[in-house]
């Protein structure tokens, strides 16, 4: 994964300024630039696939309503991930008392290599379970670094910690994930 470049951050700032000036196209461009990465982040953080579209949409609604809150001390994408992560935490709190009955859609025919599909599904299941066992801060640092490619200073700004602490959390997360996935 690549980190956002300075030019990408400048483009985001320019698009946000254009949106503030009334350009709906600028808002659409921001959504197109970041919705995929935001959805991947939320899914990896534990969002249910059926909830992803709503979470991504609500994240952008809140971001545009609070556009003045982005201080550009971190990338626009990391700010979106922070908003989306907070929405996901709120959703988890609301659903604590809910009982979920999973519906397995694995009965669909697969035209790829069935053994490879089974191995990939097993690896994904183990990784998601291991991610779910990580402390919240380790999980979020890991996802922002490994999945989104954000640099440690941006991660620190989003999560309210220091770049050094973010590095330590990432190191511990990687170690725990390796141990969990090889059990």
Global pTM reads 0.56
pLDDT in tens, 109-146: 555 677 767 777 777 888 888 888 888 888 888 888 88
What is the maximal distance between C-alpha atoms in the chain? 54
Token pair for 24:
């709906």
The model's pLDDT over 97-107, given as tens digits with 9 standing for 90+, comes to: 555 545 455 44
CA 91 to the chain's CA centroid? 15
The mean pLDDT of the chain is 81
CA atoms of 144 and 139, how far apart (whole Å): 9
Q: What is the pLDDT of residue 1?
A: 42
Ordered domains of the chain (ranges, CATH) = 6-99+122-181 (1.10.1740.10)
């Amino acid at each position: 994964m690549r980190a956002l470049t300075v030019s990408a951050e400048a483009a985001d700032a320019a698009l946000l300024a254009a949106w503030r000036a009334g350009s709906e196209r600028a808002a659409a461009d921001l959504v197109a630039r970041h919705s995929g990465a935001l959805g991947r982040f939320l899914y990896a953080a534990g969002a249910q696939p059926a909830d992803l579209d709503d979470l991504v949409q609500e994240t952008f609604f809140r971001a545009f309503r609070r556009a003045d809150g982005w201080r550009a001390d971190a990338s626009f994408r990391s700010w979106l991930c922070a908003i989306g992560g907070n929405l996901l935490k709120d959703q988890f709190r609301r659903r604590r008392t809910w009982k979920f009955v999973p519906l397995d859609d694995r009965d669909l025919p697969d035209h790829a290599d069935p053994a490879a599909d089974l191995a990939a599904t097993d690896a994904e299941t183990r990784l998601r379970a291991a991610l779910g066992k990580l402390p919240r801060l380790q999980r979020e640092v890991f996802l922002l670094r490994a999945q989104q490619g954000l640099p440690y200073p941006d991660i620190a700004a989003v999560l309210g910690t220091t770049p050094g602490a973010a590095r330590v959390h990432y190191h511990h997360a990687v170690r725990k994930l390796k141990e969990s996935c090889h059990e």
